[in-house]
Amino acid sequence: MNSKAVFYHAGCSVCVSAEQKLLNIINPEINLEIVHLGERKEEIAEAEKIGVKSVPALVMDNTVLHINFGASLNEVKKS
Amino acid sequence: MNSKAVFYHAGCSVCVSAEQKLLNIINPEINLEIVHLGERKEEIAEAEKIGVKSVPALVMDNTVLHINFGASLNEVKKS
């Protein structure tokens, strides 16, 4: 298995527990990249291009899974 | 590892691809139960009690992760 996934978040406290649980069940063979958009704002444009509308979001191949609703990317830009 | 997770869905076609991708990255050691609420309406009350508001949703311990927004449980009840 050589799958890659990217988990985008912005450190929102309400989501930390949920995020941790999700990360706990992901196959350890998956190449998982964690991107904190609040700290890496230069990555926001790329995330938007992929189709990320809100965080937390899990991206695999070209599929974006938006998880719950934390903060819109516009809110992250303003923070 | 003896974690258990439940994936609730209602067979909504738009979500099938996203769901499959999510299932592909879950650790195979997780005891994952798949519940199709459209076919098992008797499970809806239990899902609501846990906190499921929409499908697809992934439940781990007492945490509900709502993924994207497919169909509200009220819509599944009417279908």
Interchain pair B65, A30: CB under 8 A: no
How many Å from the N-terminal Cα to the C-terminal Cα in chain A?
Answer: 37
DSSP lists the bridge partners of residue B55 as B71
CA-based nearest residue in chain B for residue A14: B63
Residue from A6, A9, A15, A22 to probe the interface with B (highest B Cβ count within 10 Å): A22
pLDDT, tens digit, for every residue of B16-62?
Answer: 766 788 888 899 899 999 999 989 999 999 999 998 888 888 898 77
Interchain pair A3, B17: CB under 8 A: no
State the pLDDT at residue B42. 94
Low-confidence ranges of chain A (pLDDT < 50): 1
Does the interface ipTM go beyond 0.90? no
In angstroms and rounded to an integer, the radius of gyration of the C-alpha atoms of chain A is: 12
The answer to whether the pTM exceeds 0.80 is no
If you ran DSSP here, which 8-state letter would residue A26 be given?
B
State the pLDDT at residue A14. 56
State the pLDDT at residue A25. 87
DSSP lists the bridge partners of residue A36 as A9
| Cβ-nearest to A66 among B25, B63, B68 | B68
